[in-house]
Structure 1
């Protein structure tokens, strides 16, 4: 018998009798998907709406051979990526990179006494001679009522005012900072971008407008000055506004009055008053608000009575009253604008 795989009429002349001779004309699936025309389905042909039996395929290049689900998925991914890029670039609330470097700028004015410094009349009530308007500690901050701005909510403004008030309380009222050299609590309220500048200011104070320890805080040399009372009288105001769409700004302008005595003596009879005016500008972005931190940008300070020659970068240097009236201090020296041996920002005035 013949081979059952052979056709009944026998193997055609010149043929092999198997499918090898057709292998060169068999089209795989990728070839079919890449075709530029497509045969209509049976349903489409029966509908009679197509005059031709084939349709042209829309060319998608390499994507034309992909399943429809894969093409749809790629389109969705592309659209999502484009939307993310658009909103990331155009959104006014995007977070900027944290600023670094010397951000705080400090200016200081020493106020020289116009006459000999005398002690207060009643050491038990050292602030009795102050004019009306001063309050004890934070009660004198004059914190405004919070309100929404164009780009910040009322809750965000409230948070900024709370952080600013906390900073003033720690930096200007805390006995640990005033006379005990404490620095960590103030540091914790600053953004990471300012902490290096703060550390350098505390470890190596310099009168260079950026690294004065007394620009960040009020502090006295504990070897020379002690607090006669922990109460500090305060008067002043606070305000808030937008610096830009992503930055909220809080400004503060306060006068602090401290009751001081010489260190190393328990004699309560000789108490002096020392005044410090601090005009500060603080800034917050949304990262700062979430972390409860601030950037201290500007600090302008007047302090007295002090000597015009006093070095104020490390500690404020009060002129304290003595048991017996001392000589009248020298008047501030005249300033020669052509003398470049002294920095232009070193100023001295007369305390009224």
Structure 2
């Protein structure tokens, strides 16, 4: 056997070979760090009353061999990932919780007038409107109610905000020249909830008279290649009502008669001017999330518009009779007065009645 007094470096070259059988075992630094127990240092043994001169390491397996900086970085990554997951799940969503299935249903009735339609004085185009019909200029004629209290589940402030959002939608969709005769659609789209924007985009890309993809269901618009405004002023008469549909939904309805002074596109201001009348009923829903983000969902839109020839394709643009074909005499089942809001707006093609005071 080798001399127990041999130095720790091992026997000198040519010395005892009794340790040859252990030379295949290499106790390198990684092996020592991975050990589950370590011997206490001399200072630790002198200052400790522990019965065992060793300490146990945590069972971290491969992690125990990582440098302290690497462990710290790994811990930070895990914490960051956990925070991202938590806030991603708990953050409020902009889209309404129950608004994913909301879809506009639209209907448009053409009101056929006389052929040719009457013209009006370009300097006073609305002078023929009955004085007692209650028309006012633009927003002043919308008939927005004064909010004096909230509802059971919406505060007064929330109702006020909802009405202001609807006012902006009505202004954009019925009164804004760039939407009426310049082909703009973004002023209307930006007020819609995300749940409805895909339907709106589909209608803008491929308008269809299928009650869901008529672009004229979202707004009043005329073909800019055919129609121009004789004046930016729009005469409006009607009202807006507010009810709480359910604990999470406000329902706001608008019923208005709008009169536009139109002339052919490209014709000087002294050209012929005629009036075009639209009665428009819209129903708009807003939940708490919609109110917070000043957005809305247009649920129903029903319009009567004329004078327009019966059978005219109006999914993309309204078609004033002044600049199109005359209506067929046999397609006029009865008269409809668009200023008479006492009757439902949903009608088949009809003859347009003369305005009444």
TM-score (norm 2): 0.65
Q: Secondary structure at the match of 1:185?
A: helix
Distance of 1:145 and 1:245 partners within structure 2: 22
Number of the residue aligned with 2:99:
99
Moved more, 265-274 or 212-221: 265-274
Number of the residue aligned with 1:24:
none
Number of the residue aligned with 1:63:
none
Distance of 2:188 and 2:96 partners within structure 1: 24
Matches within 5 A, 1:328-339: 329-333=327-331
Matches within 5 A, 1:1-352: 97-101=97-101, 103-120=103-120, 122-132=121-131, 133-146=134-147, 147-320=149-322, 329-333=327-331, 347-352=348-353
1:205, 1:213 within 8 Å by CA — same for their partners in 2? yes
Residue 140 to residue 117, structure 1, CA distance change in 2 (3 Å)? same
5+ long unaligned stretches in structure 1: 1-94, 336-344
Q: Secondary structure at the match of 1:320?
A: helix
CA RMSD of aligned residues (A): 2.1
Moved more, 162-171 or 111-120: 111-120
Q: Secondary structure at the match of 1:208?
A: coil
Residue 288 to residue 178, structure 1, CA distance change in 2 (3 Å)? same
5+ long unaligned stretches in structure 2: 1-94, 334-345
Distance of 1:238 and 1:252 partners within structure 2: 4
May I ask how many residue pairs the two structures share in their alignment? 244
**1:100 shift after superposition:** 2.5
Distance of 1:97 and 1:321 partners within structure 2: 45
Distance of 1:329 and 1:219 partners within structure 2: 20
Distance of 1:329 and 1:209 partners within structure 2: 23
Distance of 2:217 and 2:330 partners within structure 1: 22
TM-score (norm 1): 0.66
**1:330 shift after superposition:** 2.8
1:228, 1:268 within 8 Å by CA — same for their partners in 2? no
Distance of 1:153 and 1:101 partners within structure 2: 26
Distance of 2:175 and 2:201 partners within structure 1: 20
Residue 263 to residue 248, structure 1, CA distance change in 2 (3 Å)? same
Distance of 1:152 and 1:111 partners within structure 2: 39
Residue 269 to residue 292, structure 1, CA distance change in 2 (3 Å)? same
2:263, 2:271 within 8 Å by CA — same for their partners in 1? no
Distance of 1:267 and 1:152 partners within structure 2: 49
**1:331 shift after superposition:** 2.2
**1:123 shift after superposition:** 1.0
Distance of 2:98 and 2:327 partners within structure 1: 47
